Amino acid sequence: MADPLLEVRDLKVHFPTEDGVVKAVDGVSFRLEPGETLGVVGESGSGKSVAFLTVMGLIHRKSARVEGEVIFDGRNLLALPEDEMRHVRGNKIGMVFQDPMTSLHPYYRVGSQIAEAIRTHRDVNKDDARKQVIEMLRRVGMPRPEDRAKAYPHEFSGGMRQRAMIAMGLALNPALLIADEPTTALDVTVQAQILELIGRLQQEFNVGVVLITHDLGVVADVSKKVMVMYGGKAVEMGTRDEIFRQPLHPYTWGLLDSIPTVDKRVERLVPIKGAPPSLINRPTGCSFHPRCPHRFEPCDKDIPELKDRGGGHPDACHLSIEDKRRLWSEREQQRARAAS
Amino acid sequence: MGQYLIRRSLFMILVLFLVSVLTFLIFMKLPSGDPARMMGGQRTNAEDLQEIRENLGLDQPFWVQYGRFAKGMIPWPGLWLDEQIYYSYSNNVAIKEEIYPRLPYTFALAMGAAVIWLAIGIPVGIISAIKRRSFADRTSMIFALIGVSAPVFWLAYLFLYLFWFKLGIAPPSGIPSDEGVVQAMVTGRFVMPWIVLSLAFAAFYSRMTRGNLIETMGEDYIRTARAKGLSERKVIFKHGLRSALTPVVTMFGMDLGILFGGVFITETVFNIPGLGQYAVRAIGNNDIPAVMTVVTLAAAFIVVLNLIVDVMYAVLDPRVRYR
């Protein structure tokens, strides 16, 4: 098998604070192959953003304790000195952030901000950079890119701004693009456009994509692999079909159940009871057990490891595989009944 | 952008108009008693008072009086500070003749101090922001607190005592009448006034720069700049400072405008023949026309500099141009 594009081994990111150590990421491991899309799903506080900010080296080294390895391009990014990491950022790994309005500098024209990214890593004169910028804007579907390049961020709509950010992330043809909640700040219809754009560009550029989101619907569209995160750990990992058809963790069940559907009549929304766990005083054993309707004897004592327990893909739940299959089909039947 | 400029200019004229009305009322209409006597100061014989009454147009309708007053505010030769109204009867001289030679001293004092306070305040603020909570940061903020708290007159006398009286390395206060502004600067008579005046501003500007830069560095677009792989220097100076300094630039314009109207305390303590010293004396002598003129002039400086500041803001922040 070819080398993975990105391999993360037992990544831990802990923030010592006055109130205690915040274990934002507590032992996450995964692989991403070249040209693949990984959807990372979790609620706020699950550690999904912090994990990938750490991959990019954007977590302040002095305020965090980082352990583990992030292997990219044959090197452990966590061990790289800062000036070498700067060659990677923007160049080999591009990043797109959640709110494009605040993520673009309000005083500089959009075109020049993208050109700045290009000229930081390539020896290109201003004119050539400008041409590349216009071409990039064209590829992300920006109408009249020559005019748009000269405009300021506040003159764009939300969707346009995000397209510009994606253009900036892909301008140097990186091998990996990390998109941290790229559609959260956008209208639903624009969301669909941006997701379709990301999917198309992923094929055109043959770039690996990490799509971080709290919205399973987003993941269903674009991702091939899905990683579900909870309380700083990955609790389930599989292909999109596996996760949606045969999920193996009660948290994933809760997420899937809570998706509102438009095409069926449903009386009430089904949330997951309880609140996300404190990252300072984590529950003993499995972090999800206080909220889990299926918890039993070992759940508050032993931390369940993420591994394949006979379900075909790894999960972190003590329930037996037979129980998991049964409980899931029960839920599916219940949903079908409630909707009729 | 053009529309913005026109709007701001019209607004400036409106403000000047309001200022002139207020000044007119305060000085000519509100005080009880005979305005002619008030303007006349030490000249109280009947003929003089009659002459004053005619000049002021006290027998004329209200708007004629205001008109004569207001036209002195129009910066046009022949109209500007014309002698009909702006005349010091105490000293028997047109006020503009008294003021004109003094303006260069005030400007020199203000500009020199401005250069110093920017050169000290902003870099100190930047370093404090970058190395937050370091020894350099804490000490400079303590100095800033002292600088902001220490009264100018106290500092001025302290400096004079230390550096002139005790150590003899600074010239005494005052500027001999045979020295022009430029000469005075060369002989070092402005050095202590500059330092004393700039200290409080430098302190204030360093705190402001530090606060603005710290806040700016927490913005999302700074994270984007780092994610693009920019060097930390570029991130701080090209992305961070650009936003952080915009309010400082506008503040600077306002501060300059206020100083141009007279640096009252520093000029008085150091005996510099500027507009501020003139104003303090005029107030002490109850020379109403002189005080009125200084007030009008100071207001005009502030308003004009305010307009310049507005334009600067639009140049620096493109979001402002379309309001």
- Mean pLDDT within B264-292: 89
Q: Which of A58, A106, A117 sits opposite B223 (nearest CB)?
A: A58
Where do we find the tokens 């193996």?
Answer: A248
| pLDDT of A339 | 63
**CA-closest candidate to residue A132, choices A124, A121, A120, A144:** A124
Instruction: Answer yes or no: is pLDDT of B322 > 90.
Output: no
Query: How far is the alpha carbon of B3 from chain A, nearest alpha carbon, in Å?
Result: 18
B244 to chain A: nearest residue by CA? A107
Using a CB-CB cut-off of 8 Å, the residues of chain B touching A102 are 219-221
Substitution target in B133, B222, B223, B224 with the highest count of A β-carbons within 10 Å is: B224
User: DSSP letter string over B20-50?
Assistant: HHHHHIIIIISSSS-HHHHHHTT--SHHHHH
β-partners of residue A67 are A12
Residues B220, B275: Cα–Cα separation, whole Å: 47
The count of residues in chain A is 340
Q: Do B227 and A104 touch (CB under 8 A)?
A: no
Q: How far is A82 from chain B (nearest CA, A)?
A: 10
| A87 shares contact with chain B (CB less than 8 Å) | yes
Percentage of residues in chain B with pLDDT exceeding 70?
A: 99
User: Over chain B, what is the mean pLDDT?
Assistant: 87
Task: Select the residue of B231, B234, B317 nearest A107 (Cβ to Cβ).
Answer: B317
Taking alpha carbons only, the member of B209, B207, B194, B187 closest to residue B156 is B194
| A-interface mutation test, from B228, B313, B321, most A Cβ less than 10 A away | B228
According to the model, what pLDDT value does residue A340 have?
Answer: 63
Instruction: Please name the residue of chain B whose CA is at the shortest distance from the CA of residue A55.
Output: B227
Q: Which of B228, B317, B318 sits opposite A89 (nearest CB)?
A: B228
Higher-scoring residue by pLDDT: B181, A22: A22
Q: In this complex, do A58 and B227 lie within 8 Å of one another by their Cβ atoms?
A: yes
Q: What is the dihedral of CA B89, B93, B96, B97, to 10 degrees?
A: -160
Tens digits of residue pLDDT in A7-55: 999 999 999 998 889 999 999 999 999 989 999 999 888 899 999 999 9
Q: Tell me the residue type at B181.
A: V
Residue A144 near residue A152 (C-beta atoms within 8 A): no
Q: Is A168 on the interface with B (CB under 8 A)?
A: yes
Residue of chain B with shortest Cα separation from A85? B229
Suggest the residue from A105, A108, A133 to mutate for an interface test with chain B (most B CBs closer than 10 A). A105
Q: How far is B213 from chain A (nearest CA, A)?
A: 14
pLDDT at A227: 95
Q: Is the dihedral of CA A161, A163, A165, A168 positive or negative?
A: negative
Partner B contacted by A280 (CB < 8 A): no
Query: Of B121, B148, B119, B149, which Cα lies nearest the Cα of B211?
Result: B121
In angstroms, the CA A39 to CA A198 distance is 12
Rounded to two decimals, what is the model's pTM? Answer: 0.85
Residue A133 CA: distances (Å) to CA of A98, A167, B102, B141, B318? 22, 8, 56, 44, 21
Residue A23 pairs in a beta bridge with A14
- Find out whether A202 and A181 touch, Cβ atoms under 8 Å: no
Q: Which residues of B touch A99 (CB under 8 A)?
A: 220
| R_g of chain A computed on alpha carbons | 21
Which class for B161: exposed (0-12), middle (13-18), buried (19 or more C-beta within 10 A)? exposed
Mean pLDDT of the region B229-237: 93
Whether residue B84 is predicted with pLDDT greater than 80 in this model: the reply is no
CA-to-CA separations, A82 to A113, B132, B226, in angstroms, rounded: 22, 20, 11
Q: Which of residues 52-71 of A touch B (CB under 8 A)?
A: 56, 58
Q: What is the spatial distance between Cα A136 and Cα A142, in angstroms, rounded to a whole number?
A: 9
Q: Does A103 touch chain B (CB under 8 A)?
A: yes
Q: CA distances (Å), A9 to each of A29, A69, A207, B187, in order? A: 5, 5, 21, 71
Q: What is the pLDDT of residues B2-17, one digit of tens each?
A: 888 888 889 888 988 8
Q: Do B229 and A91 touch (CB under 8 A)?
A: yes
Counted across chains A and B, CB pairs separated by less than 8 A come out at: 67
pLDDT at residue B320, as a whole number: 83
A226-261: string of b/e by CB count within 10 Å (b at 16+)?
bbbbbbbbbbbbbebebbeeebbbbbbbbbbeeeee
Count CB-CB contacts under 10 A for residue B44: 11
- Segment B96-110 shows an average pLDDT of 90
Q: Which residues of A314-337 are buried (b: 16+ CB within 10 A; e: fewer)?
A: bbbbbbeeeebeebbeebeeebee
Rounded distance between C-alpha atoms, residue A30 and residue B235, angstroms:
32
Are the CB atoms for A26 and A12 separated by under 8 Å? yes
Q: Chain B: give the shortest CA distance to residue A95, in Å.
A: 7
By three-state DSSP, how is residue A319 classified? coil
Q: What is the pLDDT of residue A1?
A: 54
What is residue B123's predicted lDDT score, i.e. its pLDDT? 93
For residue B323, pLDDT over 60 is answered with: no
In DSSP notation, A35-88 reads T-EEEEE--TTSSHHHHHHHHTT-S-TTT-EEEEEEEETTEEGGGS-HHHHHHH
Q: With beta carbons less than 8 A apart as the criterion, state whether A224 and A32 touch.
A: no
Instruction: Find the angle CA(B180)-CA(B186)-CA(B191) to the nearest 5 degrees.
Output: 105
pLDDT reported for residue A76: 94
Residue A81 CB coordination number (10 Å): 7
C-alpha distances out from residue B304 to A12, B115, B175, B247, Å: 58, 20, 30, 18
What's the pLDDT at B129?
92
Interface contact B223-A117, CB threshold 8 A: no
Nearest to B221 among A95, A102, A121 (CB): A102
**Of residues A86, A103, A106, nearest to B319 (C-beta):** A106
Counting as low any pLDDT under 50, the low residues of chain A are none
Contacts of residue A318, Cβ cutoff 8 Å, sequence gap at least 6: A286, A296, A298, A299, A302, A304
Q: Give every CB contact of residue B96 below 8 A, 6+ residues apart in sequence.
A: B80, B81, B83, B86, B293
Residues A152, B318: C-beta atoms closer than 8 Å: yes
Question: Average pLDDT for residues B63-89, to the nearest whole number?
Answer: 79
Contact between A11 and A220 under an 8 Å Cβ cutoff? The reply is no
Closest CA to B157 of B287, B8, B269, B68: B269
Nearest to A121 among B223, B229, B319 (CB): B229
Out of A86, A105, A107, the one facing B229 most closely (by C-beta) is: A86
Residue A86 touches partner B, C-beta closer than 8 Å: yes
Give which of B38, B125, B90 is closest to B282, Cα–Cα.
B90
Q: Tell me which amino acid residue B127 is.
A: I
Backbone angles phi, psi at A13, to 5 degrees: -130, 110
pLDDT in tens, B122-176: 999 999 999 888 888 888 888 888 888 989 889 889 988 998 888 888 888 888 8
Residue type, A194: I
